[in-house]
Amino acid sequence: MTLFEEIQNGVISGNAKGVADNTRKALDTGVAPLSIVNDGLIAGMNVVGVRFRNNEIYVPEVLIAARAMHAGMAVVKPLLSAGEIGGKGTVILGTVKGDLHDIGKNLVGMMLEGAGYKVVDLGVDVSPEKFLNGVDEYKPQLVGLSALLTTTMVNMKTTLEALQSYRDRVKIFIGGAPVTQKFADEIGADGYAADAASAVDRANALLVPV
């Protein structure tokens, strides 16, 4: 079994210590931190998502898997952030009001940090007002909204509306499993990305001066 498979299986079975150990082992053998995230930790979590959807596993197993994934993330995160921290600009991230899912958002945040952005994470269940206050306080170039529920996607629209007067200064991009490019276009977001790696590409593209 490859180290990537060991890490994936560790996430799937919720073996936090095993994931952390194998993540260190992979780093020691020279594997790039970003590959560990993409091909180990995220790949494992994707399997967990499919099994949960198919009712093969339930909420407690998912939470235990997420904890294992975070154990690996804790090991790679300092290395991902080792680049020019914050040099590219500031991004505010949050999961919209009513929504408590944060695994994907956290991954996006870690990837953005790894790519050189300063990331301010407002957490979950973030109201439009809280996003507005965050923009006032941190003066970001980018705001990222996450939603994992079809019922909370609508709060992306209300958040965009709340940020209306900042739209000339701040780009807003969105993501989350039910979110699509079509939805992003419909609500007038500046961008959309399907996963954490393309979120970095999207951020880079949005911030290129026109």
**Which stretches of the chain bind ligand B12, using CB under 6 A?**
42, 45, 49, 52-53, 59, 62-63, 66, 98-105, 107-108, 144-146, 148-151, 173-178, 193, 195-196, 199, 202
Question: What percent of the chain is helix, strand and coil (3-state, nearest 5)?
Answer: 60, 10, 30
Classify the C-alpha dihedral 99-121-117-207 as positive or negative: positive
Write down the least CB distance from residue 77 to ligand B12, Å. 15
Report residue 153 as tokens. Answer: 């996607």
Write down the least CB distance from residue 13 to ligand B12, Å. 15
Strand residues in 28-141 grouped as ranges (E): 90-95, 118-121
Question: In the complex with ligand B12, which residue's Cβ is closer, 29 or 62?
Answer: 62
In angstroms, the Cα distances linking 92 to 21, 33, 109 are 31, 23, 9
Question: In the complex with ligand B12, which residue's Cβ is closer, 49 or 116?
Answer: 49
Question: Which residues are 93's β-sheet partners?
Answer: 121, 144
Write down the least CB distance from residue 200 to ligand B12, Å. 9
Write down the least CB distance from residue 83 to ligand B12, Å. 19
Determine the distance from the C-alpha atom of residue 31 to the mean position of all C-alpha atoms in its chain, rounded to a whole number.
21
Question: In the complex with ligand B12, which residue's Cβ is closer, 31 or 200?
Answer: 200
Question: In the complex with ligand B12, which residue's Cβ is closer, 149 or 162?
Answer: 149
